[in-house]
Structure 1
Amino acid sequence: MEATLGMTLMLADADVAWAASNQLLDVYRIKHDQPLIATPLGDDAARAVLPAAPTRRRHLNNIYISGSVIISLPQYFKGWNDLTTRHIDIVPKVTYPLMMLLAEDLHFRYNLKQVEWYGENRNGSFDGLAGQIQRNEIEVGITSLFMRDDRIQVMHFFSETFELRGAFIFRQPAMSSVSNVFLLPFSRGVWLATGLVLALAAVLLALIARRQQLRAVDEAMERLSFGESVIFSVGTVCQQGFHVVPDLVSARIVMLCSLMLALFAFTAYSAKIVAILQTPSDAIRTIEDLTRSPMTLGVQETTYKRTYFAESTQPATQKLYRQKLLPLGDRAYLSVVDGVARLRTGLFAFQVEEPSGYNIISKTFTEREKCGLTQIQAFKLPMVAVPMRKHSGYKELFASRMRWQRETGLLDRTRKLWLALKPRCDAASGGFVSVGIIDVLPALHVLIAGMAASLFFLAIERSMARFHRYVPTCKSFDVPCRQQLQRTVEA
């Protein structure tokens, strides 16, 4: 048998039976440089239903299998069991204990190398760990890689480990930054009804004053013009008094009802304003909203930082990439710590792997800040799986035992240990939000516009006064005065 089969490569996945005159043997090698292992199958083996080869071969006799681990930031690496920096190299750290358990289960050991890159395709040739597998320098990667089409052509994947989600995480902007908070408390119907009632009050006061001017009963109402009636309505809205105190009961009733209306409306308005200022908006819900918003963007510094934006077929994602990210250049790409720190400043959205981002957020954000977080997925990342040399003789064996880890809950336990979930919101109604300049900016605009209008009309009034001072008023039949007016105008 040894002479016939020679150095034929029949590793643990192979299912080869050697039939001799007096026995039937199950034949395979543990490694290419190891001797054949022959196991008798018995006399009834031809009629028996044998378990699959990966099920029968669970002991690899402590052989060494070559592999590589990824440590992209060696200066921050503190060990495979260190949970304090799990946001760094989180994918290798999740996969490493699974692969160590696989080696213990199948009784083999690793001959490990260390690289810093997952591997990018450069004209068909990969670098990093993917390049080592492509060149057959290692048998298996002790990490997980994205299952991309270009990688599938040069390597195989034998077990999916978890789904890695990436999303833009941001704090919803304050309502005042996306809309005028001074218009939001009342619906359009309430605004119209309030305006009509106050306009009606101004008209009624003007009519009453007009009748009093004819009858000369109430001196205060005799001095009230229509313009002053309008000023009364505006002052009522602003909770201001009025200089005219009429004696007529009808006029007093109009004023009293107007003031009561303004009081009730102002109370409801103030309460609603406070609630709006304490509540974040929900103005940004889609990628299109994020593109139109005043937010600046950042992306986590990863191998695929530009790849999936550039390859995305979604028009909204492409538009966001061209308008928001490309103009920033390399300044758009940040570490997880720096990107999450900028999230707290407000108008900033950070594209990050969710477990890494939420790990930092859970440590640095206050409870109220955690409640204001929103996420939008720009593109869906492929599944991550453990890579292996193409046509490896251990693929089915390793895949079978990794499935066992998934079925028994070991894989899920590792995921929960290393992958941080979105922090719970336990303080949605607690604390206070400071009011900034942006919250009262519409009021400042109104003040500035009023000041500008007052200066404009002041200039007109002074011009008219100067004109009347130097140009006398003449009657049509006053010929000498008209001649003097003509000479003044010509001068």
Structure 2
Amino acid sequence: MEATLGSTVVLPDADVAWAANDQLLDVYRIKHDQALITMQLGFDAARVALPAASTRRRHLNNVNLRSSTIISQPQFFKGWDDLTVRQIDTFPKLTWPLMHLLADDLHFRYNLIQVDSYGENRNGSFTGLAGQLQRQEIEVGITSMFLRADRMQVLHFCSETVELRGAFMFRQPSKSSVSNVFLLPFSRGVWIATALTLVLAAATLALLARRPHLRAVDASLEQLSIGEAVIFTVGTACQQGFHIVPALASARVVMFCALMTALFAFTSYSAKIVAILQTPSDAIRTIDDLTNSPMTMGVQETTYKRVYFAESTQPATQRLYRHKLLPLGDRAYLSVVDGVAAMRTGLFAFQVEEPSGYDIISKTFTEREKCGLKQIQAFKLPMVAVPIRKHSGYKELFATRLRWQRETGLMDRTRRIWLASKPRCDASSGGFVSVGIIDILPALHVLAAGMAASVLFLVLERSMARLKCGGRPRHLTSYVE
């Protein structure tokens, strides 16, 4: 047996049996440079189904296996149990306890190397940890990596660890940022009915003022010209008084009805405006809505930051990438902290791994801001798994014991420690939303338009006055007269 199998690499995943006249042996090596290990199977084993090799071989005799892990930002690294910066090197920190439990379970140790990146594909040659596995410098990676087709050509994966979701997170913009809130309180029918009521009141007053026999009874009707009737209607809609108080009962009834109508309409209008300002809009629901919105965008700074946008087959995702992200260049890629901060303070959507984003959001957002949080998935991320050298003799053995960790809940416990869940929304403690300039911007536009119109009319009046006077200047009191 030694002469025949002396140069073979029969590692624990291999299922090799040596049969002789008097015995049947299970044969394997712990490591390629160690001696063969044999175990008596007995001749009954030829007729009875044996457990798989990965089940039979559970003791690796404290062998050292070359491995590698990732610390991308050593300046922030404070230990494998540090939860203060979970968003940095999340996968290595999450996988570290799982792999060390695996080592204790199978009785082996790691000869550890540290690198600073997962590795990128550069014309078929990978850098970082993936490159070490491609060159067979290490046996296994102490981290979790995305299951990608280009990586599977140069390395294998022994077990999935967690399912990761990424999405564009943003605070749903207020209704005032996507529509004119001053037009939203009433339906079109209410607007038309209110306008017709006020127009009818103005027309009735103007008609009453034109009747000669009524002017004889009430001299104040002389002042109720058509222009004054229009001013009365505008003042009534704006909850203002009127300088003319007619003695005629019919004119007073018209004014009273118009004022009461405006009062009830104004009260309902004001209450609805307050409700609208307190309620976020639902204007952004899809990727196309996000593309067409005034929001600026950013992407979490990761190894795959450009890859999945470029590889996406969804037309909506491609349109968003070309129109919103590509023009920004490198400015589109931000750290989790900077991206979430921008998302909190303005119209900003941030593509981020959900656990990393939730961790910062739970620490920095107010309760009302958490309630207004929305997310849209642009593409589905692949599973993450533990990488191992291609055709490794430990792949099935490691996969079996890592699956056992998942089935017994050990993997889920680690996931809940390192991957933050979505923050709960407690709307009852949110308070009121302060009103900003953007909320009253349409009113400011009306004010600016009125000021511009007043200046225009002043210029026209002065020009007409000069024309009437033959171009000679007149005193200001003449214009007033």
**TM-score, normalization by structure 1:** 0.93
Counterpart check, 1:159 vs 2:159: yes
CA distance in structure 2 between the aligned counterparts of 1:155 and 1:427, rounded to whole angstroms: 48
Q: Give per-residue Cα distances to partners, 1:388-418, cap 9 Å, x unaligned.
A: 1111111111111111111100111110011
1:439-471: per-residue Cα shift (whole Å, max 9, x none)? Answer: 111111111111211222222223333333349
Asked whether the equivalents of residues 215 and 221 of structure 2 are also in contact (C-alpha less than 8 Å), the reply is no
Cα deviation, residue 189, structure 1: 1.4
- Code of the residue aligned with 2:337 in structure 1: it is V
Residues 173 and 281 in structure 1, CA contact (< 8 A), matched pair in contact too: yes
Structure 1 residues 294-305: aligned runs within 5 Å: 294-305=294-305
Q: How does 1:54-93 map to 2 (within 5 A)?
A: 54-93=54-93
CA contact (8 A) 2:176 2:277 kept: yes
1:428 CA drift (Å) = 5.1
- 1-side partners of 2:431 and 2:214: how far apart? 61
User: Structure 1 regions of 5+ residues with no counterpart?
Assistant: 472-491
Amino acid in structure 1 at the alignment position of 2:35:
P
SS at match of 1:182: helix
Percent identity, aligned pairs only? Answer: 79
1:122 maps to what in 2? Answer: 122
In structure 1, give the amino acid aligned to 2:443.
A
Correspondence 1:99-248 to 2 at 5 A = 99-212=99-212, 216-248=216-248
Q: Which amino acid aligns with 1:294?
A: P
Instruction: Determine the C-alpha separation between the residues in 1 that align with 2:71 and 2:42.
Output: 49
**Residue 44 of structure 1 aligns to a residue in which SS?**
helix
Displacement of 1:429 in angstroms is 5.8
> Per-residue deviation at 1:213?
6.0
> Gapped runs of 5+ residues in structure 2?
472-481
User: Contact 2:165/2:381 (CA < 8 Å) preserved in 1?
Assistant: yes
CA contact (8 A) 2:185 2:273 kept: yes
Contact 1:175 1:280 in 2 (8 A): yes
Contact 1:169 1:374 in 2 (8 A): yes
Q: Which residue of 2 aligns with 1:400?
A: 400
Question: Cα–Cα, structure 1 residues 197 and 225, in superposed 2: closer, same or farther, change >3 Å?
Answer: same
Q: Deviations over 1:61-83 (max 9, x none)?
A: 11111110000001110111111
The 5 Å alignment of 1:454-473 reads 454-470=454-470
Alignment pair present for 1:2 and 2:2: yes
Structure 1 position 371 matched with structure 2 position 396: no
The CA distance in 1 between the partners of 2:247 and 2:142, in whole Å, is 93
Q: Which residue does the alignment assign to 1:479?
A: none
Which stretch of structure 1 is more off in the superposition, 327-336 or 414-423?
Answer: 327-336
Cα distance, 1:275 vs structure 2: 1.6
Of 221-230 and 191-200, the range deviating more from structure 2 = 221-230
Partner in structure 2 of residue 474 of structure 1: none
Alpha carbons 2:69, 2:143 under 8 Å: kept: yes
Q: Deviations over 1:252-282 (max 9, x none)?
A: 1111111111111111111111122222222
Quote the residue 2:479 is aligned against.
none
Contact kept? 1:17, 1:25, Cα under 8 Å = yes
Matches within 5 A, 1:401-480: 401-427=401-427, 430-470=430-470
Match of 2:282 in 1: 282
Of 418-427 and 118-127, more deviation after overlay is shown by 418-427
In structure 1, what is the Cα distance between the partners aligned to 2:428 and 2:381? 31
Tell me, yes or no, if the aligned pair for 1:236 and 1:258 is still in contact at 8 Å. yes
The secondary structure found in structure 2 opposite 1:159 is strand
- Matching residue's letter, 1:55: T
Look up the equivalent residue of 2:27 and give its one-letter code: V
- CA contact 1:212–1:218 (8 Å) conserved in 2: no
CA distance in 2, matches of 1:214, 1:275: 46
Correspondence for 2:97:
97
Q: CA deviation at 1:368?
A: 2.1
* Whole-angstrom CA distance in 1 between matches of 2:429 and 2:230: 42
Alpha-carbon distance in structure 2 between the residues aligned to 1:383 and 1:23: 45
- Number of aligned residue pairs: 471
**Counterpart of 2:211 in 1: which secondary structure?**
helix
Give the ranges of 4+ consecutive aligned residues of structure 1 lying more than 6 Å apart after TM superposition.
none
Q: Distance in 1 between matches of 2:46 and 2:149?
A: 42
Residue 344 of structure 1 aligns to a residue whose secondary structure is: helix
Distance (whole Å) between structure 2 residues aligned to residue 409 and residue 267 of structure 1: 58
Alpha-carbon distance between aligned partners in 2 of 1:14 and 1:87, rounded to the nearest angstrom: 39
CA shift digits 1:99-157 (9 cap, x unpaired): 11111111111111110010100000000000000111111111111111101111111
Amino acid at match of 1:115: V
Secondary structure, in 3 states, of the residue corresponding to 1:21?
coil
Q: Please tell me the root mean square deviation across aligned C-alpha atoms, in Å.
A: 1.6
The alpha-carbon distance between structure 1 residues 49 and 188, as it changes in their structure 2 partners (threshold 3 A), is same
Whichever of the two has the greater Rg, that structure is 1
SS of residue in 2 equivalent to 1:382: coil
Question: CA–CA distance in 1 between the matches of 2:257 and 2:27?
Answer: 102
Offset, 1:212? 4.4
TM-aligned CA deviation for residue 39 of structure 1: 1.1
Q: Which amino acid aligns with 1:311?
A: E
Instruction: Say which SS state the counterpart of residue 217 (structure 2) adopts.
Output: coil
1:391 aligns with 2:385: no
The amino acid that maps onto 1:325 is L
Counterpart of 1:409 in structure 2: which amino acid?
Answer: G
Following superposition, the deviation at residue 375 of structure 1 comes to 1.3
- Contact 2:209-2:215 at 8 Å conserved across structures: no
Contact 1:340 1:361 (8 Å CA) reproduced: yes
| Contact in 2 for aligned 1:172/1:373 (Cα 8 Å) | yes
C-alpha distance in 1, partners of 2:429/2:77?
39
2:349 equivalent in structure 1: 349
Q: Is the 8 A contact 1:213 1:221 kept in 2?
A: no
Greater alpha carbon shift after TM alignment, 366-375 vs 264-273: 366-375
Q: Which amino acid aligns with 2:208?
A: I
